[in-house]
Amino acid sequence: MTTLKVGDKAPNFEAFDQEGNIIKLSNYIGKKLVLFFYPKASTPGCTMQACNLRDNYQMFIAKGYDVLGVSADSQKRQQNFINKNNLPFPLLADENKDVINAFGVWGPKKFMGREYDGIHRTTFIIDEKGVIEDIIIKVKTKQHTSQIIE
């Protein structure tokens, strides 16, 4: 789906998180970033994925990674998702899809025979200089951490 490749500079972005704070890619210079895009907060697959990252969050921090989730949900829905699942990382409320489109993860999908446009579950690993180190397009929601850190 995405046209971005490993070795590309990650698109610069600026969006509000669940609390209304402005989050930018430049906030993460000097750290590795796990930037995961998911279709919809509080749905079963997205909850499994976020909770897998939550359960391994201290390991990510210890290895120099930050974690940031993105969907087109509202700030309120993102905050509810965080509260309900005790998520320790911010979630961008990308309602206008600026970040989603910059990373090329919006497009046609099929589910139960129905075709529609939506977010393709994709994770980008971005290095300390803002360069894409890895792109995971076949995300395993229950084992996502092991896909990120081999």
Write out the catalytic residue numbers: 46
* DSSP state at residue 88: -
- What kind and span of H or E run contains 115? strand 114-119
Instruction: Please provide the DSSP assignment of 92-113 as one string.
Output: EE-TT-HHHHHTT-EEEEEETT
d(CA 125, CA 10): 9
CA distance between the termini of the chain? 23
Inter-residue contact 132 to 7 (CB < 8 Å):
yes
Nearest Cα to Cα of residue 87 among 56, 65, 63: 56
